[in-house]
Every structure is written in C-alpha cells, then in structure tokens.
Amino acid sequence: MILISHRGNTNGPNPELENTLEYINSAIGAGYECEIDLWVNDGTLFLGHDAPIHSIDLEQIRKLAGHLYIHAKNADAVEYLIKHDWYGYNFFMHDKDPYVLTSRGEAWCYPSKMAIPYGINLMPEWNNLTKQDLKDCYGVCSDYIGRYK
C-alpha cells in the first residue's frame, strides 16, 4: 500500500508547516509519498491549502516529482503542469467529487465511510477506518500517515 503524507503531515495536522518545502522534504525523507497543494497565479507557483502562500519554483517540484501527488488548486495550476511536461507529474484536481483520477490513472477517493478497494483513500481517520478496513486499498493519504505503516 502506498502511504501518502497529507501536505507533509505525518503525526497530525500542523497548519504552520503544511505545504512548506522543508516539511514536504521531511515527510519524503521519512519514507512517505506526499500530497501537496499547488496554485499558479500569473505564472508563479505557490503552495498552500486555502490560498497561495509559499512561493516555489518548478525545479524544486521537478526534483521531488517522483514522490508527489499534486493537488492542483486552480485551473491555472492544471494548465501549467500540462504545459511543463505533464507526464512527469502526478496531479489531480477536485473539490468534493467522490472520486477523481490522477494524471497517472490512480483513483483519488474523497473521504468516505467505507474504504474504496484499489483506490487512494483520503483521510480514513475522519471515518474511523482501520488498517484492516484499508487492506485492499492501493494507498492512503492522511495527516496521521504513520498510523498506517
């Protein structure tokens, strides 16, 4: 099962550090993949969940691309990734869609009361899903990803 740190979190939410390059690198260094929130405004890339906050450049993302699930937060982010070697990045865009496919064809599943077999289940702790509930899943993305090792 693929274990994905949500915004760099591994042991619970940390809004001050989430979506910062250092925090993302720390999660990857601990052996996890990492979901990040990417915005593009006027051709400039930013990380941040609710708004574009932390400036980042494409080369920094490119170096980590093999470990990232990029949540494109606006249409400009999708367009930017498509124009800049989209096949090198695993990205998706959703709001509250129950499922979306990433650019690599993986099913990204909005938090659900049941585990979605063969999908990447987001925030299973919101619905008290256990490791046993998730045994047939392709992956898990969580703020508490260490629980699912």
Query: pLDDT by residue (tens digit) across 19-64?
Result: 999 999 999 999 999 999 999 999 999 999 999 999 999 999 999 9
HEC per residue, the chain: CEEEEECCECCCCCCCCCCCHHHHHHHHHCCCEEEEEEEEECCEEEECCCCCCEEECHHHHHHHHHHEEEEECCHHHHHHHHHCCHHHCCEECCCCCCEEECCCCCEEECCCCCCCCCCEEECHHHHCCCCCCCCCCCEEEECCHHHHC
pLDDT of residue 85: 79
In tens, the pLDDT along 87-138 reads 789 999 998 899 999 999 999 999 999 898 999 999 999 999 999 999 999 9
Predicted TM-score (pTM) of this structure: 0.95
